[in-house]
Structure 1
């Protein structure tokens, strides 16, 4: 029966459960990659397919979830071999049950030589060549490449059926920080996508509650939750959700509007068998209910930095490195001195050059609470996963800190990399989008998002394009690298003409000839022109500081028409020098 005819009859389509976790639960298989087993242990994979079919499912997925990652890494031969074997096994298993076979496309990694659309298209062509025309792109955290892939697929095979499924947590967010509801709506609007839904990460209860909040599109809704949440026993990760509970929840999910159901991580043939039995019983008629709107609480807060920027006033922000120990007295004294000199805000680096220092966000809360000054903490992508990032942002908001500067973060020093690992769940654009989602869904007062802009980039067109992408992700202002050359000034003028966000122009007071040479040779993103370098030759400390004040004041005047404020960077904790510069540029 054609799958579209099947859906027209109104009966839910029951899929299989989790190939990966079920295979891993077998003796001696925990460390083995289940997709590779299509080649090395085909009889075991065939047996698992048949176990789910015998349990009562009407559709199975090919054992190819990780092939997208293989292709993204350039392992085409391995990927093709797995697809060939997996298709043969799935088609063989499904034939005697009259079940549908879906080509399983796992998420395509980003930032590789192949785009996600190319990854999906390459393997989809292999599936089409083998006679498989039903596809599920599952466990996605964003919709990168889906629109292009859907268009391509229906051109190649108009009768193809494409289902797209996103992985959301109980808060409705994906691992990429996207709102599941937004992804659902965007994807359902793609004509060539036939069904949309959710799988993995969440257990059945949370996915049931989540789909109740959605305005359904009219296309088949797919819901394939995990069997509850994992726990670690010894060295094994196991799911303890019971099949009877899972089946009862799946009945409720169908009543809530799902027409495609099945299981993800932890679901066994027994979960599917009990679900099949439960769905055979007449389902009570459910009155269609309006989505359960959960209004987001809001509160009015003062954000003096943003208020001044919005009012068109030039602001002054000064960067201070956090202490390397637990003594904050000197740091707070410096902040107070800068505030008294006329600085509007202090911005605090987040473990600069990858070395541990006092936490920038905790210091920001301390500044806000004890000095009443508006802080701007840096938040890097280097040291926190999504959970830690969200927790930190919630804490900042509670403490009245509503400005953050999002940066990738300096790499961990080479000598530390064996023991200290970077995280990088995000790049700065994804992190901005994640904070924007929290602004919409969770935070009672919006967090103003700032990004970095490198005016000294070798290819500034690429840098400017990235800045525009940051704006699309929610960035409302930029702090630039220092203007210490004619090229940087020209790039600032171009940025001013191109970007919508507020621009705080970078000013770094060079304090010696040695300092200028060091910046040019050892600090990424810095460029001191030869003319300025030459001015420092032979100068002692006092003369060099006087020169730094003169040059910084001149630069401030030059960049004033193209900025909304100044971003001063403090060298070597020379706060008295910064006070002189602040007083000069305020005249």
Structure 2
């Protein structure tokens, strides 16, 4: 009897899928790091034996060995010219190995593959289309998209592949935590969106074991017309007798199979750590049974607790709140390079007394090691009653460290931050240190705002929402200011609440920044930093990225004969700039040079006096 099309078969039948390919290959002696997809060319018998083992165990849906057979991954091995050939041969190999009663589906994995990338959607769409075209031309029964952590990426793949075929297209997400994608969509939301983009089936694979996938599905609304699949890992990866192993036994897979079928799963296989023995037990559990009509849970809105209302009520106004109504001054004051904090605290207190609204501290600026701004900020807040604004650089922490750092800031009540990329470590005092850069500033802004929704970087519910107010940096010292503004607008779209600019040293520059930022929709704090001497001016102009000083200012500083007169001249130049800046900006960002807080105190007092005189004149 002729085999029915896969979609029709899944409409009224349970199907056992196959198990892991990569981890099973490693168990058979393939070295980690080898391009597994290339084996369909160099050692086809080896891959055929894996397909055969799963088929004989009872699998009737066999995935091609093409999970990573995309141009991006194959380029790493010098195989970019063999994308079509590898995918075509993988289909042929699977088809010729298993019986005619088995379905062969083209496996397409995430290109991001767990990394955090600001990927080019057009480039990814081309790569997905290239791989899918090869698989479809080779004669697969359907396409299985698998191990996608982010809804954004899987939608790119779906939109590239759906126009190519009417064959079943099943999209499997992979969640780090139960019930939510890494880019913060609930599974209910993600499955609904995927349905609108035309998939035939949705499901979960990898990362989680059977029970965690079961818990995810119990909380998820699945559109009624979609096929539901599950390919769990063999539990979590752990260390046993000095070896990395997956814990879940084949027997456990058989026990949990009925529970997954009761959730409406019609296609059930295995992912990392599973073997033909696991699949044999799944096939035994499904034998002779029919699909179960899924009953979706009721959606419930998350209520804000009284404690959260109280937490919100006792928060002090932020710089964004203040600048809506009047002059607001942010002052940057570096934490110590050494272990003595007394001078830093004395300067911070004087700045606060002079009228600074908040003190902002860099995150090891110029990649030079300084005292933790988290610790210093906590001390300012608890001992002096000063609201800190801390910089958070992408450079020094991986994703794990970034989330931990931000959670610590939240616990300390430090909610004002400036997200920056951070100078590379090679320019600093520890050039051998690693620059991490797991994320870009755009991505980190978005992820901080995700914490404000009560969702961790991994998609886990945090039971409480953060309340970060996020600043972003703007460098106007570029050849094409329009390009810099477009980049700024992307940061605003990512969730930035306010802007802090690099220091500007001429009146025209201030006016240019005003015109460039006046329509972006969030407040701008114009950066002003007094010069301390001619050599300081030369250094900033010639060696520090993002700073340019007009020739006229350099000449004024060069004319000074001693350090004291140079600092006075630096203050006077800055006052002239402030006169212009105060006409255009409510927000002023004073940057203290070399911890000379006395200069910033004088400038802060100057701003407050001018505002007072202006207010008095308006009253009279």
Alignment of 1:348-359 (within 5 A): 348-359=361-372
Q: Which of structures 1 and 2 has the bigger CA Rg?
A: 2
**Out of 47, 54, 57, which is 1:55 matched to?**
57
User: Which residue of the partner structure matches residue 572 of structure 2?
Assistant: 550
C-alpha distance after superposition, 1:502-558 (max 9, x if no partner): 211111212222222211221111121222222211213222222222222232332
Cα distance, 1:466 vs. partner?
2.3
Cα distance, 1:575 vs. partner?
0.7
Residue 513 of structure 1 contacts residue 536 of structure 1 at CA under 8 Å; is this kept in 2? yes
C-alpha distance after superposition, 1:196-248 (max 9, x if no partner): 33322233333322333333233333333322211245775321222222343
1:90 counterpart = 2:106: no
- Quickly say closer, same or farther: Cα 1:76–1:193, change in 2 above 3 A: same
User: Which residue of the partner structure matches residue 560 of structure 1?
Assistant: 582
**Out of 497, 505, 508, which is 2:518 matched to?**
497
- Quickly say closer, same or farther: Cα 1:383–1:257, change in 2 above 3 A: farther
Residue 115 of structure 1 contacts residue 145 of structure 1 at CA under 8 Å; is this kept in 2? no
Q: 5+ residue gaps in structure 2?
A: 455-461, 610-620
2-structure distance, mates of 1:14, 1:494 = 63
User: Which residue of the partner structure matches residue 454 of structure 1?
Assistant: 475
2-structure distance, mates of 1:33, 1:462 = 40
**Out of 145, 155, 164, which is 2:163 matched to?**
155
User: Which residue of the partner structure matches residue 507 of structure 1?
Assistant: 528
User: Which residue of the partner structure matches residue 465 of structure 2?
Assistant: 444
- Quickly say closer, same or farther: Cα 1:416–1:565, change in 2 above 3 A: closer
SS in 2 for 1:366: helix
1-structure distance, mates of 2:258, 2:304 = 30
SS in 1 for 2:425: coil
User: Which residue of the partner structure matches residue 38 of structure 1?
Assistant: 40
1-structure distance, mates of 2:17, 2:429 = 47
- Quickly say closer, same or farther: Cα 1:239–1:557, change in 2 above 3 A: farther
Cα distance, 1:70 vs. partner?
2.4
Alignment of 1:346-385 (within 5 A): 346-385=359-398
Residue 70 of structure 1 contacts residue 79 of structure 1 at CA under 8 Å; is this kept in 2? no
2-structure distance, mates of 1:324, 1:136 = 54
- Quickly say closer, same or farther: Cα 1:556–1:416, change in 2 above 3 A: closer
Residue 141 of structure 1 contacts residue 167 of structure 1 at CA under 8 Å; is this kept in 2? yes
- Quickly say closer, same or farther: Cα 1:555–1:62, change in 2 above 3 A: farther
Cα distance, 1:577 vs. partner?
0.8
Alignment of 1:8-27 (within 5 A): 8-9=11-12, 11-27=13-29
Cα distance, 1:583 vs. partner?
0.8
1-structure distance, mates of 2:554, 2:257 = 70
2-structure distance, mates of 1:206, 1:468 = 40
1-structure distance, mates of 2:452, 2:494 = 12
2-structure distance, mates of 1:44, 1:189 = 37
- Equivalenced residues, count: 584
1:194 counterpart = 2:194: no
**Out of 97, 105, 108, which is 2:109 matched to?**
105
Alignment of 1:272-351 (within 5 A): 272-280=279-287, 282=289, 287-291=295-299, 295=303, 298=308, 299-300=311-312, 301-306=314-319, 308-309=321-322, 311-351=324-364
Residue 335 of structure 1 contacts residue 346 of structure 1 at CA under 8 Å; is this kept in 2? yes
Cα distance, 1:259 vs. partner?
3.7
1:541 counterpart = 2:547: no
SS in 1 for 2:595: coil
1-structure distance, mates of 2:79, 2:603 = 56
Residue 175 of structure 2 contacts residue 181 of structure 2 at CA under 8 Å; is this kept in 1? yes
Cα distance, 1:433 vs. partner?
1.4
2-structure distance, mates of 1:249, 1:416 = 55
Residue 101 of structure 1 contacts residue 132 of structure 1 at CA under 8 Å; is this kept in 2? yes
Q: TM-score, normalised by structure 1?
A: 0.90
**Out of 464, 469, 488, which is 1:467 matched to?**
488
- Quickly say closer, same or farther: Cα 1:327–1:143, change in 2 above 3 A: same
**Out of 187, 190, 204, which is 2:210 matched to?**
204
1-structure distance, mates of 2:429, 2:141 = 50
User: Which residue of the partner structure matches residue 419 of structure 2?
Assistant: 406
- Quickly say closer, same or farther: Cα 1:136–1:410, change in 2 above 3 A: farther
1-structure distance, mates of 2:546, 2:107 = 46
Cα distance, 1:423 vs. partner?
2.3
- Quickly say closer, same or farther: Cα 1:310–1:570, change in 2 above 3 A: closer
User: Which residue of the partner structure matches residue 270 of structure 2?
Assistant: 263
**Out of 551, 563, 568, which is 1:530 matched to?**
551
Cα distance, 1:123 vs. partner?
1.8
User: Which residue of the partner structure matches residue 575 of structure 1?
Assistant: 597
2-structure distance, mates of 1:182, 1:391 = 28
1-structure distance, mates of 2:429, 2:199 = 47
**Out of 2, 5, 12, which is 2:5 matched to?**
2
User: Which residue of the partner structure matches residue 132 of structure 2?
Assistant: 124
When structure 1 is superposed on structure 2, of 101-110 and 381-390 the one drifting more is 101-110
C-alpha distance after superposition, 1:155-212 (max 9, x if no partner): 333x13322233221255555x543548715742543333333322233333322333
**Out of 81, 84, 93, which is 1:77 matched to?**
81
- Quickly say closer, same or farther: Cα 1:183–1:375, change in 2 above 3 A: farther
1-structure distance, mates of 2:578, 2:524 = 13
Residue 477 of structure 2 contacts residue 548 of structure 2 at CA under 8 Å; is this kept in 1? yes
2-structure distance, mates of 1:491, 1:224 = 56
User: Which residue of the partner structure matches residue 216 of structure 1?
Assistant: 222
Q: 5+ residue gaps in structure 1?
A: none
